[in-house]
Structures are given as structure tokens and as C-alpha cells.
A and B are shown apart, each in its own frame.
Chain A
Amino acid sequence: MSTPSRVVVVGAGLAGLTAANRLADNGVEVTVLEARYRVGGRLHGIEVAPGRWVDAGAAYLGDRHTALVDLLADLGLKALPTDMEGDSRFLLGASDATRSGRFPPLNAVALGEMFELLDDLTRSVDVAAPWRTPDAPRLDHLTAAEWAESNLTHPDARLFFPLFLGEMMAADPAAVSMLHVAFYLRSGGGIRYLNAFEGGAQDRRVAGGAHQVCELLAAGLSGVHLGEAVTAIRDSGAGVTVATATATYDADAVIVALPPLLASTIDIRPRPTPRATGVTGRGCAVKLHLVYPEPLWRRHGLSGWSVNEAGPLLSTVDDSPHEGGAGVLTGFVTGAEAHRFATLSYDDQRAAAIHQAQLVFPDLPEPLAFHVTDWVNEEYSRGCYAALFGPGDWLALGPHLTRPHGRVHWAGTETSPAFFGLMEGAIRSGHRAADEVLHTTHPTGDRDE
């Protein structure tokens, strides 16, 4: 018996790189295999102007994201507050409103009733084992759309619910289970924390872009291989062999740090319990960046925050670099709208986004640049922010999500009960998987356990 001396990590996203660093720090020889020709996974930066970066993927953090806060400090990265001065814009129903704060001009009592119901449900979830939640079988087989149909009576609540789920978890209510919604909201710290900018999960963003976290983590490792998609893993009982199109790697253990839908594409033998089902959905987010010479909306006393009933820009936020040099309006296309938008040509996407931005914000010229990041169809992510568990998924998949399969261990934000779907969840899962590997003794040179 021995603790592993060689480990392969599949996926150079935040979870995989966190695990790899912890293993390397403990003297393990680590090889990280990454399908893309970049590290970072769902953390990705776009240089919108010379030396000015924006987050095309994960972007925000708050005080409760303690592992990420610590990691940023270790790496010497700074987090800066998400400024939101000025009025918000709302194009909801027939109304076109400009008002202070982020509260939409909808019936407050109706929205409050919806939040009270969601809060009750969220509190009922067993976050460590959602499938053991009282009422789990019913909630897991109920879609969020069905829940809304029978629980939300006021038209304003029915209008806002899909927008809220889109913002919170990039979900189409028709395709996600209500147990998953309740779990996700609970895992993220509750509806209030997850929704809030100041004092909440969107309190700060990483100066210069969150992608630097992964770049710096990778820079500290010697064995990161880009452009090598893992196709197969064989566990002989005495060790694992990890195969890509061009090479094979032998190791004592492997950590698969991929979203569940992507992990399912690897041919693993012996076969593990499925990591996804036919109804496991891709996080439905397309992120748009409209780049201007400066944040022009601020001249009109506007913050850049908007919520819109019609797509593609269901919400917008000012993501201009703190150092100046560019004005960046980030648009979120989420839920069912993301699927529709993703089918358009780039020219049609650009035209639709610019047209809507001009409806929402006054005197907005053509942007200097327009960037589309379609996470739904990213081959090596298959959705963002995170996998969306469909009806029945938590009962079927939940109990096996983190359980090691022989020498195969699992990481990724979807394997973290805390802050599932967020950068914080990815880091915590990486720590957990690395510790699991470090503290597991496998038999050596013998197939028998």
C-alpha cells in the first residue's frame, strides 16, 4: 500500500488547477491534461483594449468565498468593488423605467411573496445531500416552470421568475428541477446573498480578470499539457492509464475535474455510475461585451444595470475596467433565450444586441468592438455557469457525484455542496479531491484489493 506518487488531473479549469497545486505542494508528480489550447475552463479573459481585460466567464466574488479570497491573496491578485453608481434601467412589459437601485418597477408585494416562497424552499434543502431533503422526490420531479405555474399567481411574479433564474443560475425554468433551484440558491448562500452585488456574491471582481487566477496556478506547475483531450481512462486496479488522442499517461490516481456533461464523454472502465442523464442541462449563458471608448451611460446618470423582459440582453451590467481606457457593457443572454440567440449568425447577434443596447441606453453609438462568448455550445465546457440538473437528476446523480470510483476521483464546481456553480465551489472541490487522493491508500502492483 502507498499514497499516490503520480496523479493525472483532467481539465485545467479552476478546480483541476487547484487540485493539481495542492498535490504538487505535497510532493506528488502531477500531470494536467487540458483539451483547449488555454487554461481556465469557464474562467476566460478577453482583452477589450490594450492591457484592459474583461471576464467572458466567471467574474464575481464576495466575502463568503473564503477559499477564493485566500487564493487571490496567495497569488497577489486584487479584487475591486463592482461599482454601481447611478440609476438602473428597466424595460419590463409595457413599461420603460429609470430608477435608483436594482429593484424593478414591478409589484413589490408579489415579488416579495415569490421570494418568501423561494426562501422557505431554499431553507428546507439538505445542502450536503439534496436527495435527502424532505419532499425531495416531489421537488426533484417538478420543473421550476411547473412550480411557478402553481405557486405564482401575480403576473409580475410570473414575469420576473424566469429573469431571476436566468440571472442567478442561467437556467430555463422549463428544463431545471425545483430541487436543483432550491439547492443552488441555498448552496450559494441563500437568495439574498446570491442576488446581491454589494455585500453579496457579486461584491467584487478580480482586477485585470479572473482568468489570471488559472494562469498563475498553471504557471506554478510543470506538467500542464494543452490541446490534449482525454478520451479514455482505464483503472487496472493497480493503477490508471489515461489516454488522449496522442499519448497515454500512467498514474496512481486520476482526478476528473470536468463538468458532468463533459466527464460523461470520457470512456472510463470499469464504468462509473453515470454523471449526467438525458435531462441534465447545460448552463444557458451567452455573455456579450459591447466595448465603447468610455462608460457613456454614466454621462446620463445611469449605472449600466438594466433588466429587460425581451432578449437578447435580459440584463446588462457595467464591467468597465477600473483603470479606465474602455467602457464595457456586459450583456447576459440566459435561459431559453440563450439557446435561441446561439443559433443566430454573428452579424445577427451583433445587430440584435446593439439595437437593444440603444433602446435601453440613450445616445449609444456603435460599439468599438463586440464580443460573443457562447458557453452553451462550448465543446469543452458544455454550458455555464454550471450544469443544470433536470427532473429526477438529484435523486439519480446526487449520491454518486463526489464518491470516488476506484482510482478515479471527481472535482469541478458541480461536485461542491457549497457554492455550487461558482468559482468558490470549484476551488473547494479541488481541495477536497486532492485531499481525498492524498489520504487514500491504494494497493500497489496487485489487482486484488
Chain B
Amino acid sequence: MSIPTTDRISTCLIANITASITATFRRVLEIDDVGTDDEFFALGGDSLLATRVLSAIAREYGVELTFDEFVLAATPAALGRLVARPVAGARP
């Protein structure tokens, strides 16, 4: 009960976004075994496939990340946090 409400919302939001991005990793990499902390390029991803993840994120959340941002945060969890920031911030 010590967690402020807005933080609980964003924690929940990040978890949802992370789950969705994990599913996108699975889809574009064509592998089933993807964890939230798995690194995209270590899973066999390359720049072409990375752009497809970025496109999916833009479609679902309206957040356009750059390729360089992706490279620095190439796990579902890190991308989830990156995507949730502007989404959460946009809320009243």
C-alpha cells in the first residue's frame, strides 16, 4: 500500500507493454522461447527485423523509437519501459 497509485498504474502498464513486445519478438524472430530480458540480437535478430519491431511498437502505442534507441534497449523489458514513459506521461 506504500506504492503510489500512479506508479502502480505504470508498473501494470509496463508489464502489459513488455508482454506485447515479447510477443512481437516471437513473431518477427520466429522463435517461441523469448523472455522479457532476452536481448534481441543475441536471439538472432538483425537490423531488418529490428525495424519490424519498431514498426509494431509504433502501430500499437504510437511511439516512434529510433534504431539507435532500440540498440541500447533491445530487450522486451527495456523497450517496455521506454515505450511506457511517454504513454504514461501523456495520461492526465
Contact = CB atoms under 8 A, between A and B. Distances in A.
A192 B64 contact: no
Which of A101, A103, A109 neighbours the largest number of chain B CB atoms within 10 Å of its CB? A109
A113 B52 CA distance: 6
Most buried by B among A102, A115, A192: A192
B49 A192 contact: yes
Given A103-B67, A108-B67, A115 B51 contact: yes
A103 B52 CA distance: 13
A109 B44 contact: no
B9 interface: no
Interface in B35-78: 44, 46-56, 58-59, 64-67, 70
Contacts of B49: 115, 192
A237 interface: no
A116 B59 CA distance: 11
A278 to B, nearest CB: 35
B46 A115 contact: no
Contacts of B67: 103, 108
B47 A103 contact: yes
Main secondary structure of the interface of A (DSSP, over half): helix
A199 interface: yes
B47 A116 contact: no
A112 B44 contact: no
A98 interface: no
Contacts, number: 53
Interface string A172-193: 0000000000000000000110
Interface string A75-117: 0000000000000000000000000011100001111110110
Contacts of B59: 113
A199 B42 CA distance: 13
Contact of B47 (A101, A119, A191, A199): A101
Given A103-B67, A116-B56, A111 B46 contact: no
A196 B50 CA distance: 13
B47 A112 contact: no
B44 A108 contact: no
A378 to B, nearest CB: 31
A124 interface: no
A120 to B, nearest CB: 11
Of B52, B56, B64, chain A has the most CB atoms within 10 Å of the CB of: B52
Interface string A101-141: 11100001111110110010000000000000000000000
A256 to B, nearest CB: 37
A365 B48 CA distance: 33
Contact of B48 (A110, A113, A191): A191
A302 to B, nearest CB: 18
A177 B59 CA distance: 28
Contacts of A103: 47-48, 50-51, 67
Contacts of A119: 52
Contacts of A199: 44, 46
Nearest to B71: A101
Contacts of B70: 108
A192 B53 CA distance: 13
Contacts of A192: 46, 48-49
A109 B48 contact: no
Interface in A198-240: 199
Contact of A116 (B44, B55, B64, B66): B55
Nearest to A100: B71
A111 B64 CA distance: 12
A111 B65 CA distance: 12
Interface string A230-258: 00000000000000000000000000000
A108 B46 contact: no
A109 B47 contact: no
A112 B46 contact: no
A282 B54 CA distance: 35
Contacts of B44: 199
A108 B66 contact: yes
A102 B47 contact: yes
A110 B66 CA distance: 10
Contacts of A110: 55
Contact of B50 (A108, A113, A116, A195): A108
Interface in B1-54: 44, 46-54
A246 to B, nearest CB: 51
Contacts of B64: 109
Minimum-distance CB pairs A-B, first 8 = A112-B55, A112-B51, A103-B47, A108-B67, A113-B55, A109-B58, A111-B51, A112-B52
21 contacts: A101-B47, A103-B47, A103-B50, A103-B51, A103-B67, A108-B50, A108-B51, A108-B54, A108-B65, A109-B54, A109-B58, A111-B51, A112-B58, A113-B59, A115-B48, A116-B55, A119-B52, A191-B48, A195-B48, A196-B48, A199-B46
Interface of B: 44, 46-56, 58-59, 64-67, 70
